[in-house]
């Protein structure tokens, strides 16, 4: 595995933050969309604004969860930006609108067709990423050099956790765009969730885990939704097999809670949001086994 000191600028497929001391819980954390590396060879439209290129990123989520290793929890982090490769898509979720030599019938599902396959065609704000279509060889290279090793590393972490504790619990961390708030309040609009928990409608983890996380976040004064509009992506679907001792829960944080989206830097709510996340991590580190056993 590439370790914490892996050189992301050289194209390391992931960063692994190893637990401090003995692994005290069955938890594994992952952040597949917080990578910030965009190789110069990507071929993006040179006129594309940086804020648009990065609009699909879960920007700074890696920093929000960086305290987890101190609680005995390994953290797997993406290095490459989501616009270059989406680690929360199946490797065969290929976009016929992007890949000029894709064989007939080899395309992916509806998300790929909409421009958001394993190698996206569009930015998070809907702009074309490329002026020219890509070759299947280029897409395959990206999958082989980053997607495959990232998920192999995640498999190892989950297997190790289950071997050590009898169960493994993946928390897949994400962020989501917030609603446009009217100045000067800059607050989420009424009724719009600030957190969305995705457990594949109860299929990917023990119900007690989802309920406990929802209750903890609700007690922080946050509006929490379940599975709407995000029920969990490919990672949650693939790793969430409670009958085999593997549990997976996706957590989406509204960017209005912590991020200045225009500058892609910590916003006014950063300290409060990081405090909420740290308290959640502390509780889960102590209670996770009981919640899924």
pLDDT tens figures, 161-183: 999 999 999 999 999 998 754 34
Compute the distance between CA of residue 146 and CA of residue 139 in angstroms, rounded to an integer: 11
66 or 183: which carries more pLDDT confidence?
66
Record the tokens describing residue 227, joined without a space. 């599975």
Compute the distance between CA of residue 180 and CA of residue 104 in angstroms, rounded to an integer: 41
The whole-number pLDDT of residue 120 equals: 98
* pLDDT > 90? residue 2: no
141 phi, psi to nearest 5 deg: -65, -45
Record the tokens describing residue 16, joined without a space. 């692994």
- In this prediction, residues 95-122 reach a mean pLDDT of 95
Partners of 101 in beta bridges: none
The whole-number pLDDT of residue 107 equals: 86
pLDDT tens figures, 248-293: 999 999 999 999 999 999 999 999 999 999 999 999 999 999 999 8
Q: Among 48-52, 98-102, 175-179, 193-197, which stretch is predicted with the lowest mean pLDDT?
A: 175-179
Task: Specify whether the CB–CB gap between 266 and 258 falls below 8 A.
Answer: yes
pTM listed for this prediction: 0.93
Angle (nearest 5°) at CA 172 between 170 and 53: 155
- In this prediction, residues 78-86 reach a mean pLDDT of 98
Task: Specify whether the CB–CB gap between 242 and 158 falls below 8 A.
Answer: no
pLDDT tens figures, 225-258: 999 999 999 999 999 999 999 999 999 999 999 9
DSSP state of 292: H
* pLDDT > 50? residue 186: no
Going by pLDDT thresholds of 50, 70 and 90, the confidence category of residue 5 is: very low
Compute CA distances 266 → 4, 60, 153, 191, 239, whole Å. Answer: 23, 8, 29, 24, 31
Record the tokens describing residue 248, joined without a space. 């997976």
Compute the distance between CA of residue 46 and CA of residue 242 in angstroms, rounded to an integer: 45
Residue 239 preceded by cis peptide, ω within 30: no
pLDDT tens figures, 21-39: 766 689 999 999 999 999 9
* pLDDT > 70? residue 42: yes
Compute the distance between CA of residue 255 and CA of residue 107 in angstroms, rounded to an integer: 32
3-state secondary structure of 16: strand
Record the tokens describing residue 130, joined without a space. 């490329």
Handedness of CA 67, 289, 23, 168 (dihedral sign): negative
Give the number of other CB atoms < 10 A from CB of residue 123.
Answer: 23
Identify the H or E element spanning 253. Answer: strand 246-254
> What is the overall mean pLDDT for the chain?
92
The whole-number pLDDT of residue 21 equals: 76
Q: Which of 166, 164, 201 is nearest to 292 (CA)?
A: 166
């Amino acid at each position: 595995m590439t370790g914490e000191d892996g050189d992301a600028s050289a194209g390391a497929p992931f960063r692994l933050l190893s637990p401090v001391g003995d692994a005290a819980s069955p938890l594994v954390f992952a952040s597949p969309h917080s990578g910030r590396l965009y190789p110069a060879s990507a071929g993006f439209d040179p006129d594309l604004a940086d804020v648009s290129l990065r609009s699909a990123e879960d920007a700074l989520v890696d920093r929000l969860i960086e305290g987890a290793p101190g609680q005995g929890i390994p953290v797997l982090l993406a290095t490459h930006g989501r616009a270059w490769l989406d680690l929360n898509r199946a490797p065969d979720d290929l976009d016929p609108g992007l890949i000029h030599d894709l064989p007939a019938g080899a395309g992916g599902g509806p998300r790929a067709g909409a421009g958001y396959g394993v190698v996206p065609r569009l930015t998070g704000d809907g702009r074309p990423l490329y002026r020219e279509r890509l070759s299947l060889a280029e897409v395959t290279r990206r999958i082989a050099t980053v997607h495959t090793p990232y998920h192999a590393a995640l498999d190892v972490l989950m297997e190790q956790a289950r071997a050590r504790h009898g169960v493994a619990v993946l928390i897949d961390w994400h962020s989501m765009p917030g609603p446009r708030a009217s100045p000067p309040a800059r607050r989420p609009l009424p009724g719009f969730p600030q957190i969305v928990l995705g457990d594949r409608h109860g299929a990917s983890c023990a119900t007690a885990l989802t309920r406990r996380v929802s209750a903890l976040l609700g007690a922080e004064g946050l509006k929490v939704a379940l599975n709407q509009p995000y029920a969990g992506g490919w990672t949650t679907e693939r790793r969430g097999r409670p009958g085999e001792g593997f549990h997976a829960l996706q957590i989406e944080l509204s960017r209005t809670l912590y991020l200045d989206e225009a500058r892609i830097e910590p916003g006014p709510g950063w300290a409060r949001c990081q405090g909420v996340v740290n308290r959640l991590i502390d509780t889960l580190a102590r209670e996770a086994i009981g919640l899924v056993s």
